[in-house]
């Protein structure tokens, strides 16, 4: 893919060349794509002679700590910087911690670039000077690969491994429908650049191992999973007490959602978190052939992909009402999907 696909790429190059201190920001819900993209940019921009700082408003989850360099991601942005790059996010709602800390006005005052592949978001960021958002790539990491190679920026072996991990994360190991022929070509190119997929998989499996307490908790979550809409939707709710106790060890969403999708007849899995301050969040994952997660997220004020998305609700509605509306609209989407297949 050539840079000509992204008309703003040359402006990105100019902005990077003009900056010395660059901060790369992830949203408050880091995943393999955001972390891999950020760490890859650290290497790519570092090889260009830039001073690169990595920010995320929350601690990097334990299950992502197989990424070398995860511990360089800080909870505070630098006090001064020349350029900000936001990866895998383009909405205000995913930067609550930055807003609460009072650091958002500083970000708004600086040149800012967005690299993302989510086109459906609530409260789009409107202060970025340049936004390259491509829904036709599988991950932000794949987008960064195309931009970097098109601009002639070096991708060393460590950056290649981080980009590969970002792609594997969003495509569920190249198994979902975000994976395109171009994705496989990028994976081959990253392998040529030194990325070692078997090694990455071994590391991911090692860091995905769970403590016995998490193993028991997983069993409890699976046991209380509800199956609604004639068994087509699997949903489980996580209260604040469990968020406090278990999230530092393992994110409940990744802990159970793949298992929820393995139940016969399930088209959509929903993990709802209920916070004491009144807001709720949801992680949505859909099975192949049921591309409804993005539409559900959009309806509830969030965004993401057709097969992986999420939302946050903080408008004063009760958790019961949020859950009811989520299930109601998800059921509607599933029914529409069935009707369309009949046509």
| pLDDT exceeds 90 at position 1 | no
Of residues 27 and 226, the one with the higher pLDDT is 226
At residue 306, the pLDDT reads 85
Instruction: Look up residue 335 and give its two tokens.
Output: 């029914």
Predicted pLDDT of residue 150: 94
Determine the pLDDT at residue 173.
Answer: 85
306 against 299, higher pLDDT: 299
Q: Where are the beta strands (DSSP E) in 145-294?
A: 226-228, 233-239, 268-274, 280-286
pTM listed for this prediction: 0.84
pLDDT, greater one: 98 or 83 = 83
Report the percent of the chain where pLDDT is more than 70: 98
- Please tell me the predicted confidence (pLDDT) of residue 305: 81
**79-95 average pLDDT score:** 90
Q: How far is residue 74 from each of residues 169, 277, 336, measured CA to CA in Å?
A: 22, 25, 44
Fold for 212-342, please state it. Diaminopimelate Epimerase; Chain A, domain 1 (3.10.310)
Superfamily of domain 3-205: inorganic pyrophosphatase (n-terminal core) (3.90.1640.10)
pLDDT at position 53 over 70:
yes
At residue 2 the predicted structure's pLDDT band, cuts being 50, 70 and 90, is very low
Cite the residue boundaries of each domain of the chain with CATH code 3.90.1640.10. Answer: 3-205
- Which regions of the chain carry the CATH code 3.10.310.30? 212-342
Q: Which residues contact 257 (CB under 8 A, 6 or more apart)?
A: 269, 271, 283, 285
As a whole number, mean pLDDT of residues 4-15 equals: 89
pLDDT at residue 307 greater than cutoff 90: no
């Amino acid at each position: 893919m050539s840079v000509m696909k992204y008309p703003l790429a040359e402006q990105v190059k100019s902005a990077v060349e003009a900056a010395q201190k660059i901060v790369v920001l992830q949203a408050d819900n880091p995943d393999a794509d955001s972390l891999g993209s950020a760490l890859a940019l650290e290497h790519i921009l570092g090889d260009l002679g830039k001073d690169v700082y990595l920010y995320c408003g929350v601690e990097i989850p334990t299950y992502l700590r197989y990424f070398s360099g995860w511990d360089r991601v800080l909870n505070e942005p630098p006090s001064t910087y020349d350029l900000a790059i936001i990866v895998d996010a383009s909405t205000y709602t995913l930067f609550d911690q930055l807003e609460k800390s009072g650091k958002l006005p500083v970000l708004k005052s600086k040149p800012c670039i967005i690299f993302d592949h989510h086109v459906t978001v609530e409260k789009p960021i409107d202060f970025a000077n340049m936004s390259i958002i491509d829904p036709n790539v599988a991950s932000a990491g794949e987008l960064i690969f195309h931009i970097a190679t098109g601009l002639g920026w070096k991708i060393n072996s460590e950056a290649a491994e981080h980009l590969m991990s970002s792609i594997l994360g969003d495509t569920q190991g190249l198994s979902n429908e975000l994976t395109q022929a171009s994705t496989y070509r990028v994976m081959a190119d990253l392998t040529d650049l030194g990325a070692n997929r078997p090694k990455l998989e071994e590391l991911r499996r090692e860091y995905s191992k769970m403590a016995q307490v998490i193993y028991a908790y997983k069993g409890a979550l699976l046991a209380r999973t509800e199956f609604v809409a004639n068994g087509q939707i699997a949903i489980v709710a996580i209260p604040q007490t469990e968020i406090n106790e278990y999230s530092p060890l393992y994110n409940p969403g990744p802990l159970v959602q793949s298992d929820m999708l393995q139940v016969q007849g399930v088209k959509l899995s929903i993990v709802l978190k209920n916070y004491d301050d009144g807001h709720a969040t949801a992680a949505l994952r859909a099975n192949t052939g049921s591309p409804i997660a993005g539409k559900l997220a959009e309806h509830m004020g969030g965004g993401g992909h057709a097969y992986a998305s999420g939302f946050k609700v903080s408008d004063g509605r009760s958790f019961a009402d949020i859950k009811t509306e989520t299930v109601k609209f998800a059921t509607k989407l599933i029914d529409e999907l069935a009707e369309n297949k009949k046509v």
